[in-house]
Amino acid sequence: MPEVICLRPLEDFANAGVVPPRALSIRAMAPESRELAEAMRSAEALVMPAVGPALATELFAGSAIRLVQVTGAGVDRVDGAGLARLGIAVAGVPGSSALAVAEYVVATAVALLRFLPGSTAAIRAGDYENVRDRMIRCGLSQLAGLTVGVVGYGIIGQATARQCAALGANVILCDPAIDREDGVELGELLATADIVTLHVPLQDGTRGMIGAAEIGLMKPDAILVNAARGGIVDEAALAEALEAGQIGGAVVDVYSREPPAPENPLLNVNAAGARRLILTPHIAGVTRQAWASLFAEAWDNVSRVLLQGEPARNVTNGAAG
């Protein structure tokens, strides 16, 4: 019976109504377990969540692992190129959470457009008239008629564009993979969009792609949404822009280090910046429906390789496994 190591709690699958294949011998372990390296000597696949500490390539040397299956779209917890040299395939699940992320982008952007953060606390404190007057004077807006700039036009970017367009927004795109006539350069998108939403993977070419200079191109009332990966946005530059009122607001679901350290600039913005900032703990793609779909697809891929002898789907590092 093929052995599989799973670095996420098995109850996650049960809670989503997904039953891992019974023909596999599955051992749940914590990534920091001292027994992990030894267990990998006989296990043929490693199943892991997209979020968590990086796993060193050296851990896989001498192992029997043929497939690293990530239960999510992001595969940056491992060095894909390094594992490819060891003949280990790395696979993700690129589309199952697309609608969940798209809904998150719309919901949080609209929350900032309506200045919703903070209103509950103000009303509970008896400040109803003042907070209502302040919200109206700030210029409440709806999504229809605004321009949404989608950076990265993969499956999630496409779903986000469709959701925004369905609500009446004008959508512009930036992605080197699309035709020139269908997209714009990043600088033009930043200068034009009322809402900028990021949907690119964390790679050498995208690390730090939104820094002080790029934020400086944005409209003073524009909103930046990062539900992609931490490290794409310069957190210090974003915090400074929020404090200075340089942009209208920001939504951050991902961080350069997770969980973010207490000294993270986004956790220490002043009161003015905090009113225009929504922070969430990397849950943009987490819904019951999305998890059920991606868990099922992940285990199907493991079965495909270990039980059916077929090549893995959605391999990101070019290895056959």
Catalytic residue positions, numbered: 229, 258, 282
Helix (H) or strand (E) holding 278: strand 277-279
| Separation CA 312–CA 320 (nearest Å) | 7
Residue 46 pairs in a beta bridge with: 5, 68
What sign results for the dihedral spanned by CA atoms 68, 70, 75, 78?
Answer: negative
| DSSP 3-state of 32 | coil
CA atoms within 13 Å, Cβ hemisphere of 82: 13
72 within 8 A of 101, measured Cβ to Cβ = no
Give residues with Cβ within 8 angstroms of 138, minimum separation 6.
115
The beta strands (E) that lie in 83-177 are given as 89-91, 147-151, 170-174
Reported residue count of the chain is 321
CA angle (132 as vertex; 130, 133 as ends), nearest 5: 65
Closest C-alpha among 143, 272, 152 to residue 210: 152
Query: For residue 93, with 0-12 CB atoms within 10 Å meaning exposed, 13-18 middle and 19 or more buried, which class applies?
Result: buried
Of the candidates 316, 259, 257, the residue with the CA atom closest to the CA atom of residue 72: 316
Question: Rounded to whole angstroms, how far apart are CA atoms 114 and 207?
Answer: 31
